[in-house]
Amino acid sequence: MEGKNKDTGCSSKGCHDKSPDSAQKLRDITEDQALKNRLSIIKHKIMVLSGKGGVGKSTVAANIAVALAMEGKKVGILDIDFHGPSIPTLLNLEGRQIQHDGEALIPAELSEGVKVISLGFFLKDREDAVIWRGPMKMNVIKQLIAEVKWGELDYLIMDFPPGTGDEPLSVAQLIPDSNGAVIVTTPQNLSTLDVRKSISFCRKLNVPVIGVIENMSGFVCPECHTVLDIFKTGGGEKMASEMGVPFLGRIPLDPLIVEASDNGNPFVYHYSKTEVAKAFVKAIQPLLALDDDTGDHESLPKEKAMNHKRIAIPVTQGVLSSHFGHCEVFALFDVDCETGKVVTTETITPPPHEPGLLPGWLKEKGANVIIAGGMGSRAQGLFADQGIEVIVGAPEMEPQRVVELYLQDTLETRENRCDH
Ligand code: ADP
């Protein structure tokens, strides 16, 4: 009967529904409310993301947090990286027992004034959480977010699990109103799909990209402390501009960072006079702008509108050619980035093979992305010099399909198969 309690058969409005389902619903509502209440007094919730593990995401998260605290901000770090919650190690908090005041968990606090909660505090073994099943992970994260007494914070810096798969997506959906994301990458990962995937991850969640940090870019000589560009650098800036997101800067590889991190000494604080520490301070300026009291967010770096892409694909016998320098033709696809749709397609025949010629020629043809099978690092550099984004390791399939997958962010790239 309509309107009746299905357990008691009572149709009175005042009768409480005590079914297990409704008890669970009530618990969920209460938990959600608790989570919203605790997060509502945090001004800026910032996700730190990376397309891959090992690029220095946690190192950057820890140093960003400490740099903000050094500017007088109230800062918390929430380390929810299941794949190695390393914040306790980086901040000398390993083995820290977290107190519960009967109402909520009390975060650990650094002498630099940063409050810290890490999954690592609750694990016997750092690897434990990796084997948890999805729902268990999400329940733990939910609890960590809802049951921590952060108090008022200007910033909560969240060290996310790496990647852009279901796991970080589910975690992100648990955090209402994230204010922005910082994406960490390395020069080696710039030309892969990783950064693009992280950017579209943020777009899916409607979270603004505050910017991209190119970590491990150049090397600080331990003798003379100058930054040496051992690999080609500067690609991050170009890539960010092509993707229409702000570039926050380069952090070089510095053996002192490893030493400071291993000893649990936040680098920006203990080595504040170094160029690398200054690079971190420069990188947090857009974050500081978020806390601008005028509330005028127009001054923030905004994602630039990216209206048009021209994708070039080398083709031989109807499929993507793994040797782009010897392909029969190039298929060009014009994409309207607003709609994500291909608007025109054309096929052009390249000039006779000559090393180093194609990047300039494709630039002349208006291409700003090339999707290839294999490509040597020199050629990649030449394309980057022309402002052309390079994606390598794409499979030998019909170019239309390649573009379709690329636009859906599901193009699987394999190892770069260049043999010269
Ligand atoms: P992720 O969180 O992306 O897995 P981590 O922050 O744990 O990466 O860093 C991985 C390793 O790289 C650590 O040993 C860390 O000390 C080191 N590292 C990170 N950034 C730098 C850098 N700029 N210079 C030197 N070592 C770095």
Higher-pLDDT residue of 109, 134: 109
Higher-pLDDT residue of 36, 266: 266
Nearest ligand 1 atom, CA 52: 3
Which pLDDT does position 258 carry in this prediction?
95
Q: Classify burial at 250, counting beta carbons within 10 Å of its beta carbon; exposed 0-12, middle 13-18, buried 19 or more.
A: buried
Mean pLDDT score, 370-391? 84
pLDDT band (50, 70, 90) for residue 306: very low
User: Does 9 have pLDDT greater than 50?
Assistant: no
Distance 60 CA to ligand 1 centre (A): 8
Distance 258 CA to ligand 1 centre (A): 7
Strand-pairing partners, residue 331, are 313, 347
Ligand 1, pocket-test mutation among 63, 80, 258, most atoms within 8 A of CB: 258
Distance 55 CA to ligand 1 centre (A): 6
Mean pLDDT score, 213-229? 82
Helix/strand/coil (H, E, C) string of the chain?
Answer: CCCCCCCCCCCCCCCCCCCHHHHHHHHHHHHHHHHHHHHHCEEEEEEEEECCCCCCHHHHHHHHHHHHHHCCCCEEEEECCCCCCCHHHHCCCCCCCCEECCCCEECEECCCCEEEEEHHHHCCCCCHHHHCCHHHHHHHHHHHHHCECCCCEEEEEEECCCCCCHHHHHHHHHCCCCCEEEEEECHHHHCCCHHHHHHHHHHHHCCCEEEEEEEEEEEECCCCCCEECCCCCCHHHHHHHHHCCCEEEEEEECHHHHHHHHCCCCHHHHCCCCHHHHHHHHHCHHHHHHCCCCCCHHHCCCCCCCCEEEEEEEEECCEECCEHHHCCEEEEEEEECCCCEEEEEEEECCCCCCCCCHHHHHHHCCCCEEECCECCHHHHHHHHHCCCEEECCCCCCCHHHHHHHHHCCCCCCCCCCCCC
Cα 171 to Cα 236: distance, rounded to the nearest angstrom: 27
- Cα distances (Å, whole numbers) of residue 348 to 163, 351, 367, 390: 36, 10, 12, 19
Tell me the average pLDDT of the chain.
83
Tell me which CATH code domain 297-407 carries: 3.30.420.130
Which pLDDT does position 246 carry in this prediction?
92
Nearest ligand 1 atom, CA 59: 6
Nearest ligand 1 atom, CA 81: 2
Q: Whose CA is nearest to atom 8 of ligand 1?
A: 56
Pick the CATH number of 29-292 from 1.10.10.10, 3.40.50.2000, 3.40.50.1820, 3.40.50.300: 3.40.50.300
Domain ranges within the chain, ordered by starting residue: 29-292, 297-407
Which pLDDT does position 114 carry in this prediction?
95
Ligand 1 neighbours (beta carbon < 6 A):
50, 53-59, 86, 215-216, 251, 253-254, 257-258, 261
Which pLDDT does position 307 carry in this prediction?
59
Q: Whole-prediction pTM value?
A: 0.67
User: Tell me: the pLDDT tens digits for 45-71?
Assistant: 999 999 989 999 999 999 999 999 999
- Cα distances (Å, whole numbers) of residue 351 to 218, 275, 378: 36, 46, 19
Distance 252 CA to ligand 1 centre (A): 11
User: Tell me: the pLDDT tens digits for 70-106?
Assistant: 999 999 999 999 888 899 999 999 988 899 998 889 9
Ligand 1, pocket-test mutation among 94, 164, 261, most atoms within 8 A of CB: 261
Mean pLDDT score, 165-190? 87
Distance 254 CA to ligand 1 centre (A): 10
Q: Whose CA is nearest to atom 14 of ligand 1?
A: 258
Q: In which residue are the tokens 């992305």 written?
A: 369
User: Does 232 have pLDDT greater than 70?
Assistant: no
User: Does 154 have pLDDT greater than 60?
Assistant: yes
